[in-house]
């Protein structure tokens, strides 16, 4: 027993000593191989950053509505009941109807008339609900400014955060009149379920004469329209016949959110996938390369008495140390980059703002990155480490100076006989010496070029779209008539006088008044806005992709989102309603893009629905050469109640998209170039002797640089040839996805953005990417001290 114990003690001491030796050798390797340590750290950092941004974007882009809806425990069915035909007990009983899992209400509901603009709400009908607070089991409203309405005369308006409009916080404290009753705005809140336009305390809604009661439901099964319809029937069956007057499914809200003009989600997904692939490839290449380049060192360790497992441990520690630091920093930097990017990209449009409000940084993304990247690093290091583990010490020591495979030699031989300068032909043969490493590098370059190509196509399309969305410079000045209800000075002139005044000012060639009329579509609960133009409007730059611009009363031009949302197409007829009036109109055209709740029509149609409607905005065309600033000064001088502004020529959403795509492209390009950099560093290290030989027989530093750069530029060229078609394909596949969403239907002129010269340049971008990554280490190779290299054999 004593002997056994003694042996055990020796083993334990040996293990402790071995652990210490492993740690000491690994630490020394990390310190000594500063360049390799730095490359691993930087590559893992940038890759982790890319992964965090890419996964975050994928997460946000994949189901923004679902995420926001889940966070707020949104109402799957928002139901209105006739208050006169149903009792509180009967409403409470609906909570036990088949399939109901959660219920909120009853909340008294009134349709009131708002007298002035409050954030996104324009004067007209608004739905006001009496509710005690923003919380509850269903529809947990996000009260993001002020407080909830509690006392008499207090109201909370719905408003998405981030919609600046007239200034959200300026709305707090504003006096408004709802159906003749004065209220003070005390809070702003957002509901992804869009359960109300405004909320008051339940005991204060009586003043608005509520005629209906709102109930909010969640169900066990509500994934499809059919299931929701069955759920609604179950609720309707629990109350007297006809008591349920209206219901809205969250599925229609979801479709509305998808049809909002947020064209960037599919693009983000492509960037996300590309980012993930590039990062994984490069980390694998860098880490496995670091282990392979250390084979000789591994042999020495074995010769010293390190066991195979200890050798593996040394190498895993060696690559893990910088990788862990890079990973941690990458997660932090990725989070810092991701948040503003998502806010910018998802925050377009009103629906988008509601979603951006709810879409935050996902903890799972950070966790996946923090666990996944080190695991990836370990796996990438493990395969070659295990190979090194099994190598006899003598072979490991001689690794790197053995003859290479037959294919590489055949290719090198074929190149030798070519007419190319020898430094070039030698460079072209280099990638074949390490085909596995070259393949990974090539794949990274291919994805880099695909990203650049896709991004270039995206920029061209989005810029063309932005130009079209801003009217292509059809008019130069927008003049808004001031309004006391939003706190701006009203004009002293009447609507016709303003039009005449603006037309008479120097430089004006055309003045088109426009107005907004709140309407409802017969058979739909959602409110719409009719944009009416008086006089010539067909030349104001709105691009019509199907049909034509309206040219008479009873005709409307709508957005792709509107058609998609309501299942209509050009040529269909629909009925628009305002209080006590209705008009039958024909859809004669579909515009390029726009809010699904906006329709364009002529002045006659608008006045038929809203007699007395007056111009609120005047679109002014100026003669060529007229100073926009001078015209604006003249407008202000003519009537202080007129507020001119230069027409935006740059579409903010397009700029955001192009800017974000550029950031992501730079990030991915940098990772791909780092991959090339690493490959050249490894190749140079492995071929130090060859470089020394070549220099000893007269290869100049420039020829060494050329040979090394050419070796990677060749990969870059192949990467370009493969990557450009992939990028073009991705662009072609993604554009229809945005169209399918209904937000934007890009016409052929915006889809066909490729030109032969541009494509050649894109192919060359692969060469540039590779040459860029190769240049610095190739210069280092050119400066290699020959004497030291050759005499170290």
Partner 1 sequence: MRLEDVRKEYGDATALDGVSLEIRSGEAVAVMGPSGCGKSTLLNMVAGLDRPSSGRVVVHGDDLTGLDETGLALFRRRRIGMVFQFFNLLDDLSALDNVALAAQLTGTPARQARRRAQELLDELGIADRRNAYPAVLSGGERQRVAVARALMNRPALLLADEPTGALDSHAGEQVMDLLLDLNQIGQTLLLVTHDRRLASRCANRVVDLADGRVVGERSLERAG
Q: For tokens 């810029």, what's the residue?
A: 463
- Please report the DSSP string for 427-466 in residue order: HHHGGGTSHHHHHHHHHHHHHHHHHHHHHHHHHHHHHHHH
477 binds partner 1 (CB under 8 A): no
Report the residue number, 423 or 632, with the smaller CB distance to partner 1: 423
Report the residue number, 211 or 690, with the smaller CB distance to partner 1: 690
Cis peptide before 106 (omega within 30 of 0): yes
Report the residue number, 540 or 715, with the smaller CB distance to partner 1: 715
Could you say which residues in the range 701-740 bind partner 1, by CB under 8 A? 701-703
Contact (Cβ atoms closer than 8 angstroms) between residue 31 and residue 659: no
CA 53 to CA 330: how far, in whole Å?
10
The interface mask with partner 1, positions 164-203, x = CB under 8 A, is ----------------------------------------
429 binds partner 1 (CB under 8 A): yes
CA 662 to CA 172: how far, in whole Å?
38
Task: Identify which range of 78-86, 330-338, 631-639, 780-788 contacts partner 1 by CB under 8 A.
Answer: 780-788
- Helix (H) / strand (E) element for 726: namely helix 701-741
Report the residue number, 313 or 699, with the smaller CB distance to partner 1: 699
CA 63 to CA 65: how far, in whole Å?
6
Task: Identify which range of 33-41, 397-405, 638-646, 747-755 contacts partner 1 by CB under 8 A.
Answer: 397-405
DSSP state at residue 118:
B
Question: What is each CA distance from 167 to 121, 143, 164, 387, 459, in whole angstroms?
Answer: 13, 17, 5, 64, 31
341: number of CA atoms within 13 Å, CB side?
Answer: 29
In the chain, count H helices and then E strands.
26, 20
Task: Identify which range of 303-311, 401-409, 712-720, 773-781 contacts partner 1 by CB under 8 A.
Answer: 401-409
Report the residue number, 281 or 426, with the smaller CB distance to partner 1: 426
Which tokens go with 585? 């109109």
- Helix (H) / strand (E) element for 600: namely strand 598-602
Of the candidates 103, 104, 446, 699, which one interacts with partner 1 according to CB under 8 A?
699
Report the residue number, 106 or 427, with the smaller CB distance to partner 1: 427
The Cβ of residue 611 has, within 10 Å, a number of other Cβ atoms equal to 9
Residue count, binding to partner 1 (CB under 8 A): 39
Contact (Cβ atoms closer than 8 angstroms) between residue 147 and residue 108: no
Which tokens go with 438? 């070259």
Q: Provide the β-strand partners of residue 481.
A: 642
Of the candidates 122, 383, 655, 790, which one interacts with partner 1 according to CB under 8 A?
790
Report the residue number, 422 or 493, with the smaller CB distance to partner 1: 422
Report the residue number, 131 or 434, with the smaller CB distance to partner 1: 434
Report the residue number, 337 or 705, with the smaller CB distance to partner 1: 705
Q: What burial class does residue 669 get, using C-beta atoms within 10 Å of its C-beta: 0-12 exposed, 13-18 middle, 19+ buried?
A: buried
Could you say which residues in the range 408-427 bind partner 1, by CB under 8 A? 408-409, 412-413, 416-419, 421-423
Task: Identify which range of 35-43, 535-543, 552-560, 700-708 contacts partner 1 by CB under 8 A.
Answer: 700-708
Identify which of 15, 343, 291, 315 has the alpha carbon closest to the alpha carbon of residue 163: 343
787 binds partner 1 (CB under 8 A): yes
The Cβ of residue 436 has, within 10 Å, a number of other Cβ atoms equal to 12
Of the candidates 11, 548, 573, 783, which one interacts with partner 1 according to CB under 8 A?
783
Report the residue number, 36 or 423, with the smaller CB distance to partner 1: 423
* Shortest distance, position 427 Cβ to partner 1, whole Å: 12
* Shortest distance, position 422 Cβ to partner 1, whole Å: 4
CA R_g for the chain: 34
Which tokens go with 230? 């069955």
Of the candidates 700, 729, 755, 776, which one interacts with partner 1 according to CB under 8 A?
700
124-130 and 198-200 strand pairing: parallel
696 binds partner 1 (CB under 8 A): yes
- Please report the DSSP string for 540-561 in residue order: S-PPEEEE----STTEEEE-HH
Non-local (6+) Cβ contacts of 105 within 8 A are 91, 213, 214, 215, 216
- Please report the DSSP string for 731-786 in residue order: HHHHHHHHHHHTS----HHHH----HHHHHHHHHHHHHHHHHHHHHHHHHHHT--H
Task: Identify which range of 130-138, 336-344, 685-693, 773-781 contacts partner 1 by CB under 8 A.
Answer: 685-693
Task: Identify which range of 343-351, 400-408, 650-658, 757-765 contacts partner 1 by CB under 8 A.
Answer: 400-408
785 binds partner 1 (CB under 8 A): yes
Strand extents, DSSP E, 191-308: 198-200, 212-219, 244-249
* Shortest distance, position 719 Cβ to partner 1, whole Å: 23
Torsion angle of the four alpha carbons 345, 347, 349, 352, in this order, in degrees rounded to the nearest 10: 100
CA 734 to chain centroid: 14
690 binds partner 1 (CB under 8 A): yes
Report the residue number, 166 or 690, with the smaller CB distance to partner 1: 690
* Shortest distance, position 682 Cβ to partner 1, whole Å: 16
* Shortest distance, position 307 Cβ to partner 1, whole Å: 31
Could you say which residues in the range 322-351 bind partner 1, by CB under 8 A? none
Could you say which residues in the range 256-315 bind partner 1, by CB under 8 A? none
Of the candidates 11, 182, 395, 404, which one interacts with partner 1 according to CB under 8 A?
404
Task: Identify which range of 79-87, 263-271, 605-613, 784-792 contacts partner 1 by CB under 8 A.
Answer: 784-792
| SS3 assignment, position 63 | coil
Report the residue number, 406 or 756, with the smaller CB distance to partner 1: 406
Task: Identify which range of 273-281, 330-338, 627-635, 783-791 contacts partner 1 by CB under 8 A.
Answer: 783-791
Of the candidates 118, 192, 341, 694, which one interacts with partner 1 according to CB under 8 A?
694
* Shortest distance, position 784 Cβ to partner 1, whole Å: 10
* Shortest distance, position 717 Cβ to partner 1, whole Å: 21
642-646 and 477-481 strand pairing: antiparallel
Report the residue number, 89 or 402, with the smaller CB distance to partner 1: 402
Which tokens go with 308? 């195979």
Of the candidates 27, 636, 689, 779, which one interacts with partner 1 according to CB under 8 A?
689
CA 549 to CA 558: how far, in whole Å?
10
693 binds partner 1 (CB under 8 A): yes
The interface mask with partner 1, positions 579-618, x = CB under 8 A, is ----------------------------------------
Torsion angle of the four alpha carbons 568, 569, 574, 579, in this order, in degrees rounded to the nearest 10: 70
Of the candidates 697, 748, 756, 757, which one interacts with partner 1 according to CB under 8 A?
697
Report the residue number, 250 or 295, with the smaller CB distance to partner 1: 295
209 binds partner 1 (CB under 8 A): no
181-190 and 154-158 strand pairing: parallel
Which tokens go with 407? 């294919």
Report the residue number, 387 or 689, with the smaller CB distance to partner 1: 689
617-622 and 77-82 strand pairing: unpaired
Contacts with partner 1 by CB under 8 A lie at 401-404, 408-409, 412-413, 416-419, 421-423, 429, 433, 689-690, 692-703, 782-783, 785-787, 790-791, 793
């Amino acid at each position: 027993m004593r002997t056994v114990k003694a042996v055990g003690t020796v083993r334990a001491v040996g293990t402790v000593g071995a652990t210490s030796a492993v740690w000491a050798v690994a630490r020394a390797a990390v310190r000594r191989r500063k360049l390799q340590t730095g490359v691993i750290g930087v590559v893992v950092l940038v890759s982790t950053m890319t992964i965090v941004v890419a996964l975050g974007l994928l997460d946000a882009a994949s189901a923004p509505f679902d995420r926001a809806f889940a966070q707020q425990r949104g109402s799957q069915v928002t139901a209105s009941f006739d208050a006169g035909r149903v009792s509180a007990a009967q409403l409470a009983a609906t909570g036990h109807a088949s399939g109901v899992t959660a219920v909120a209400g009853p909340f008294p509901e009134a349709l009131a008339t708002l007298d002035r603009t409050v954030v996104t709400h324009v004067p007209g009908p608004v739905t006001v609900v009496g509710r005690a607070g923003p919380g509850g089991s269903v529809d947990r409203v996000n009260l993001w400014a002020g407080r909830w309405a509690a006392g008499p005369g207090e109201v909370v308006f719905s408003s998405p955060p981030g919609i600046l409009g007239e200034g959200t916080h300026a709305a707090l404290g504003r006096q408004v009149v709802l159906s003749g009753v004065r209220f003070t705005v005390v809070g702003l809140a957002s509901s992804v379920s869009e359960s109300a336009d405004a909320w008051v305390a339940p005991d204060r809604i009586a003043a608005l004469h509520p005629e209906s009661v709102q109930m909010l439901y969640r169900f066990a099964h509500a994934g499809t329209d059919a299931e929701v319809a069955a759920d609604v029937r179950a609720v309707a069956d629990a109350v007297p016949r006809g008591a349920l007057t209206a219901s809205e499914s969250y599925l229609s809200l979801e479709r509305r959110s998808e049809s909002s003009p947020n064209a960037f989600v599919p693009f983000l997904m492509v960037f996300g996938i590309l980012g993930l692939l590039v990062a994984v490839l490069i980390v694998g290449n860098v880490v496995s390369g670091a282990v392979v380049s250390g084979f000789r060192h591994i042999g020495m360790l074995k010769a010293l008495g390190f066991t195979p497992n200890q050798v593996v441990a040394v190498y895993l520690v060696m690559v893990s140390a910088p990788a862990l630091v890079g990973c941690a920093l990458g997660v932090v930097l990725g989070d810092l980059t991701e948040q503003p990017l998502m806010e910018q990209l998802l925050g377009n449009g009103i629906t988008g703002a509601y979603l951006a409000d709810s879409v935050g940084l996902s903890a799972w993304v950070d966790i996946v990155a923090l666990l996944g990247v080190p695991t990836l690093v370990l796996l990438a290091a493990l395969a070659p480490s295990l190979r090194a583990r099994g190598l006899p010490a003598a072979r490991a020591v001689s690794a790197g100076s053995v003859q290479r495979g037959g294919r590489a030699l055949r290719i090198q031989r074929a190149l030798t006989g070519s007419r190319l300068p020898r430094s070039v032909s030698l460079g072209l043969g280099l990638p074949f010496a390490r085909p596995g490493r070259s393949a990974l590098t090539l794949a990274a370059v291919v994805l880099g070029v695909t990203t650049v190509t896709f991004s270039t196509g995206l920029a061209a399309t989005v810029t063309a779209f932005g130009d079209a969305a801003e009217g292509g410079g059809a008019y130069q000045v927008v003049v808004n008539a001031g309004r006391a209800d939003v706190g701006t000075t009203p004009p002293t002139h009447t609507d016709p006088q303003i039009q005449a005044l603006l037309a008479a000012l120097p430089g004006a060639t055309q003045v088109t008044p426009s107005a907004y009329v709140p309407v409802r579509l017969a058979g739909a609960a959602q409110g719409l806005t009719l944009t009416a133009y008086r006089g010539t409007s067909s030349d104001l730059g709105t691009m019509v992709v199907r049909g034509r611009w309206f040219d008479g009363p009873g005709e409307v031009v709508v957005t792709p989102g509107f058609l998609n949302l309501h299942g209509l197409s050009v040529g269909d007829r629909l009925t628009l309603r305002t209080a006590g009036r209705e008009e039958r109109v024909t859809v004669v055209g579909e515009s390029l893009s726009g809010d699904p709740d906006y329709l364009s029509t002529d002045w006659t149609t608008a006045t038929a629905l809203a007699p007395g409607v007056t111009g609120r905005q005047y679109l002014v065309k100026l003669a060529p050469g007229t100073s926009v600033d001078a015209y604006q000064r003249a407008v202000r001088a003519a009537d202080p109640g007129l507020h001119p502004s230069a027409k935006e020529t740059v579409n903010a959403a397009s700029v955001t998209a192009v800017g974000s795509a550029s950031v992501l492209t730079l990030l991915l390009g940098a990772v791909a170039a780092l991959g090339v950099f690493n490959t050249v560093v490894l190749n140079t290290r492995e071929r130090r002797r060859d470089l020394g030989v070549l220099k000893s027989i007269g290869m100049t530093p420039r020829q060494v640089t050329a040979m090394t750069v050419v070796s990677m530029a060749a990969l870059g060229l192949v990467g370009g040839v493969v990557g450009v078609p992939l990028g073009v394909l991705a662009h072609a596949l993604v554009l229809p996805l945005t169209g399918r969403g209904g937000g934007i239907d890009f016409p052929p002129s915006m889809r066909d953005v490729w030109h032969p010269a541009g494509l050649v340049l894109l192919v060359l971008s692969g060469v540039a990417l590779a040459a860029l990554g190769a240049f610095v280490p190739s210069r280092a190779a050119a400066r290699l001290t020959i004497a030291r290299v050759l005499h170290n054999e």
